[in-house]
Amino acid sequence: QEVWRFKAREADRRHVEDSIRQGRHDVDCSTERKGSPHVLVCTKNQASYARRVAQRRADLDDLTRLNA
């Protein structure tokens, strides 16, 4: 998994995290509260890929039922 670390003040971290959430990107965010300023840790995930795989399986099941 790819990880990006953004060390910045709270307003900047919040802006980045809000932008990621609004864009529905496949990124999980958490805040590491060691030191100052804190660090926003963003980790790439496979959410959209998992959704596409599930949809493909459902489509194939539907196709099988239609052809039966």
Q: What is the pLDDT along the chain (68 residues), one digit of tens a residue?
A: 799 999 999 999 999 999 999 998 999 999 999 999 999 999 999 988 999 999 999 999 999 999 98
**Domain encompassing residue 8:** 3-67
What total number of domains does the chain contain? 1
Determine the pLDDT at residue 52: 94
Determine the pLDDT at residue 24: 87
Determine the pLDDT at residue 1: 72
Annotate 1-52 with DSSP letters as a single string: --EEEEE--HHHHHHHHHHHHHTT-SEEEEEE-SSSS-EEEEEE--HHHHHH
Determine the pLDDT at residue 9: 97
Determine the pLDDT at residue 68: 81
The token pair that represents 52 in the structure block = 């596409």
